[in-house]
Amino acid sequence: MTRGDIVLVEDPTYFVFLGILQSHGVQCRAIHLQEDGLDTEHLADTLRALHRSGQLPRVKMLYVVSYYQNPTGITTSPQKKAAILRVLRQFEKAAGHQLYLLEDAAYRELRFAGPDVPSALAVESDPSRVIYAGTFSKPFATGARVGFGLLPAELLEAVARVKGNHDFGSANLLQQLLARALASGRYQAHVTSVAKRYAQKAALMCAMLRAHFPAAVQWTPPQGGLYVWARLPQRVATGFKSNVFKAALKRQVLYVPGELCYADDPTRPKPRHEMRLSFGGATPKDIRLGIQRLGQVLSQVAGRWARA
């Protein structure tokens, strides 16, 4: 990709990926997110609008975090994955090139409820437009900074060359450790244990949210991953300069303001009333204390709506 290219993203999406795109001068168009994944009608409408404005050739791919999404916890259904690929195919001729789907499956193995969902590779008879990305750091060990990708043949050489220029290759020691863990069966046993532990911490966070958050705050119990996405009334800001964020910091509580997870898209204003809460690295004691303190902040700062 080059400066001025366009990448379609979920709305909201992983804020670190947004930062990478921005640093390369790549523009974003945000696609509404529904309970089972991307809104395919909005995807088609957006592509049609880009076609009418002559910008469709600049669109290179669609990026989705398809399992227990960071930040919302939503998982994209196999039906939605198939529908997304159908829509992309419909616009490829007008774009003049393939429109790729980058499926970020970083949290796939951290499932603790619900069925396993097949990847876009499995629901597509022709996987030549699917880029599947995974990692070992999320499910196995945060210090194991090793990932992997399944790419169409025409992209493999270019991506491998770019990666090599960036990091000179993944650490051999970590690759050897992971290879032995996988071959011995220890990897799967550890992932099962980690997912069970995250399930316990997610259940604890949800219990604390029910006990301490105002009823006007909306959130959904996660079925995997590391996060709970909390939505406050629209008039209550949660950004870095908001009263909620400042008051939380004074009580030594930190969350990710939801506005960071929204792309700079000129077609809509950024929502500013949400927050991402992580139970991944926190101890049970931290979860209890942190949610209790944050609940007090919301009740005090929000005042009138919190008591409603």
pLDDT in tens, 143-159: 889 999 999 999 999 99
At residue 180, the pLDDT reads 97
Q: Looking at residues 146-174, what average pLDDT do you find?
A: 91
Residue 304 pLDDT class (50, 70, 90 cuts): low
> What is the share, in percent, of the chain residues with pLDDT greater than 70?
98
CATH of 6-181, one of 3.20.20.140, 3.40.640.10, 3.90.79.10, 3.60.21.10: 3.40.640.10
Residue 307 has pLDDT above 60, yes or no: no
Q: Per residue in 16-64, pLDDT tens?
A: 999 999 999 999 999 999 999 999 999 999 999 999 999 999 999 999 9
Q: Per residue in 278-288, pLDDT tens?
A: 999 999 999 99
Give pTM, 2 decimals. 0.94
Residue 166 pLDDT class (50, 70, 90 cuts): confident
Q: Looking at residues 211-226, what average pLDDT do you find?
A: 95
> What are φ and ψ of residue 300, in 5° steps?
-80, -45
Q: What residue ranges of the chain are covered by domains with CATH 3.90.1150.10?
A: 188-307
Residue 305 has pLDDT above 80, yes or no: no
Which CATH class name applies to 188-307?
alpha beta
> What are φ and ψ of residue 182, in 5° steps?
-65, -45
Radius of gyration of the chain (CA): 20
Are the C-beta atoms of 263 and 10 separated by less than 8 Å?
A: no
More confident residue, 129 or 301: 129
Instruction: Locate 159 and state its tokens.
Output: 């991506």
Which residue has 């995974």 as its token pair?
Answer: 134
Are the C-beta atoms of 264 and 22 separated by less than 8 Å?
A: yes
At residue 41, the pLDDT reads 98
At residue 302, the pLDDT reads 67
At residue 306, the pLDDT reads 47
Residue 116 has pLDDT above 80, yes or no: yes
Alpha helices (runs of H) in the chain, residue ranges in sequence order:
15-23, 40-52, 78-95, 120-123, 153-167, 172-184, 186-212, 243-250, 284-302, 304-307
Which residue has 């930190």 as its token pair?
Answer: 254
- The CA-CA-CA angle for residues 118, 116, 188, to 5°, reads 105
What's the rounded Cα separation, in Å, for the pair 229 and 196?
A: 20
Residue 76 has pLDDT above 50, yes or no: yes
